[in-house]
A and B are shown apart, each in its own frame.
Chain A
């Protein structure tokens, strides 16, 4: 039941990796500034903008509360506009990335919040501007935690990418649904699971190594 499937597994794995890498990169690029603003924009923060902060925080919460499968469907018009199609790997990256932005923003927020406030004050007492504080102290000190957040985001996206497969997103989820579920092909289902497990293990291992290499505490 697995004959001739090697090519399918290989290309599906590649699609999954592509989806995860691209959406993680977008999520980090857009989520980190959001996380920084969630950290410093509150009343009393070093870049305080209380009303904008409330707005961003609410927006993040709203996006976080929409189940991914619904978000995917709801974003179809935007996906079509950006990619030209709502089906396929490239199309799946759009909702994956958009769903992961608020997720990573919250993780980044928590990581920055964990930097001791006394260090912030020490740098303030040295005459650091808010921008210097953020770029040279806060984000820098939070790097190990941020790295763990990136890993967590990527691993979570593995699950989401499988969900994207159910609506024609491509990747391993797509294979599992089409061959494993629709055609009752249990061996294909099992191989997909094994590949996913290995993928997640590898990502976690890589992520831990990265975070530890950044950590000097």
Chain B
């Protein structure tokens, strides 16, 4: 388990101003879980992960790895602790002049393991990341995805219980990102790794994380299970992140005419989120038959969050006296409903 307590970090800019990158961050990463940390560029995520293995020293606060404080230890004890935490970077950071084998063997050579043990360990690691046919290649002869797999094998060489991933898929194409993420997930499951996954891609979080922490301007603004964060995001930032992942959002033409106050005649716009069994029920047609109102699905999307189904849709309900009942029915059926506003009939246009 990793515990971060009251982490604060301020950078002094060359201009003399100071920039607060981490502002009292508290976070617990449970053993054997994948904790995703998401936020926009400059939110402080990378600084946070670098504080965990001491690449960055926080101004105040404490970092514990299985109860051992990492900020007060000696240089040699810190090195020892670091071998219990593998780290993977966005720009892979492999040694260009070393072969795949030599790169993966490097952490083991550092600890002074004997040759035969290293050979065995490296080959088994390369087998786990399916690169046994690239043993003697140099990094420049590999694709970006293969390079990242070498980096993963290297990070796992010393069999660390903890893996720190700093934007590990951000430089990869979508297909390779999928491969790397599923590799991460399968390794995490088989080795029971505790993972801290830093990313700005909500899709990565959605696929592999158990829990999510959302960061903004150096602060941790929201934390919870992935399903909770995706279904009931509390802060505006999180909502925006979740929506951008689902590619949901009102078309610009509707956004412009959508207002908060009810209108005489027109439509009520709703965002509905649902998960699991609810997805299998024909709720829309039931609304129509039960209340006689027309529901227009503007956008809809069904994805998998941490292995379970989650759907989102944006619907327009024609205004009538039944409106409260319809909304009530949707809520009772297990949907999370968020009112977006009203659109006047005269303004209704999707072009």
CB-contacts of B263-280 with A (<8 A): none
Inter-subunit contact A216/B91 (CB<8 Å) = no
Selected from A118, A119, A127, A217, the residue in CB contact (under 8 A) with B82 is A127
- Say if the beta carbon of B230 comes within 8 Å of chain A: no
Evaluate contact between A217 and B96: CB separation under 8 angstroms.
yes
The interface residues of chain B lying within 8 Å CB-to-CB of A125 are 53, 55, 82, 85, 87, 164
B79, A119: Cβ atoms closer than 8 Å = no
Contacts of A141 in B (CB 8 A): 95-97
Chain A hits for B79, CB < 8 A? 127-129
Inter-chain CA distance A216–B97, complex, in Å, is 6
B93 with A122: CB separation less than 8 A: yes
Complex CA distance for A116 and B97, rounded to whole angstroms:
13
A155 to B140 CA separation, bound complex (whole angstroms): 31
Beyond A116-B93, A141-B97, A143-B97, is A127–B138 a contact (Cβ under 8 Å)? no
Minimum CB distance partner of B78 in chain A: A127
Interface readout for B107-119 with A: 1 if CB under 8 Å, 0 if not?
1011100000000
Task: Please report the C-alpha to C-alpha distance between residue A125 and residue B151 in the assembled complex, in whole angstroms.
Answer: 13
Q: Which residues of B contact A (CB under 8 A)?
A: 53, 55, 79-80, 82-83, 85, 87, 89, 91, 93, 95-98, 106-107, 109-111, 138-140, 154, 158, 164
Complex Cα gap A121–B110 (Å): 15
Contact A122 B87 (CB under 8 A): yes
Q: Determine chain A's interface SS by DSSP, over half rule.
A: helix
Bound-state CA distance A23–B19 (Å) is 50
Task: For A119, give its contact among B93, B107, B154, B158 (CB under 8 Å).
Answer: B93
Q: A122-B93, A125-B55, A214-B97 are in contact. List 5 more A-B contacts (CB 8 A).
A: A116-B93, A126-B87, A126-B106, A126-B110, A137-B95
Given A116-B93, A127-B80, A127-B83, does the pair A140, B106 have CB atoms closer than 8 Å?
A: no
Chain B residue contacts of A126, Cβ below 8 A? 82-83, 87, 106-107, 110, 154, 158
List chain A residues, Cβ under 8 A from B110: 126-129, 132, 136
In the complex, how many residues of chain A place their beta carbon closer than 8 angstroms to a beta carbon of chain B? 23
Given A125-B55, A127-B110, A127-B111, CB of A140 within 8 Å of CB of B95? yes
Interface members, chain A 94-122 (any B CB < 8 Å): 116, 118-119, 121-122
Given contacts A126-B110, A127-B82, A127-B83, contact A216 B138 (CB under 8 A): yes
**How would residues 191 to 216 of chain A score, 1 for a CB under 8 Å from any chain B CB and 0 otherwise?**
00000000000000000000000111
**In the complex, what residue of chain B is closest to A144 when comparing beta carbons?**
B97
A28-66 interface bits toward B, Cβ cutoff 8 Å, 1 = contact, 0 = none? 000000000000000000000000000000000000000
Instruction: Kindly state the separation between the CA atoms of A143 and B96 in the bound complex, as whole angstroms.
Output: 11
Contact residue among A122, A128, A136 (Cβ-Cβ distance under 8 Å from B89):
A122
Report the separation of the CA atoms of residues A217 and B142 in the bound assembly, to the nearest whole angstrom: 11
Instruction: Point out which of A116, A125, A141 has the most chain B C-beta atoms below 10 A from its C-beta.
Output: A125
Interface centre among A116, A124, A214, A216 (most CB of B within 10 A): A216
User: Across the interface, which residues of A come within 8 angstroms of B97, CB to CB?
Assistant: 140-141, 143-144, 214-216
How far apart sit A132 and B112, CA to CA, in the bound complex (Å)?
Answer: 11
Give chain B residues whose Cβ lies under 8 Å from the Cβ of A140.
Answer: 95, 97-98
| Complex Cα–Cα for A216 and B158 (A) | 26
Shortest Cβ distance from residue B40 to the other chain A in the assembled complex, whole angstroms: 21
Check B89–A118 contact: CB distance below 8 A. Answer: yes
Give 18 CB contacts A-B under 8 Å. A116-B93, A118-B93, A122-B87, A125-B55, A125-B82, A125-B164, A126-B83, A126-B107, A127-B82, A127-B110, A128-B79, A136-B106, A141-B95, A141-B96, A141-B97, A215-B97, A216-B97, A216-B138
In the complex, A126→B91 CA distance in Å? 16
Tell whether A124 pairs with B95 under 8 Å between CB atoms, given A136-B109, A216-B138, A216-B140: no
* A-B interface, 4 closest residue pairs, ranked by CB to CB distance from nearest: A122-B93, A127-B79, A216-B138, A127-B82
Contact across chains for B140 and A217 when beta carbons are under 8 A apart: yes
- The CA of A123 and the CA of B95, in the complex, are separated in Å by 10
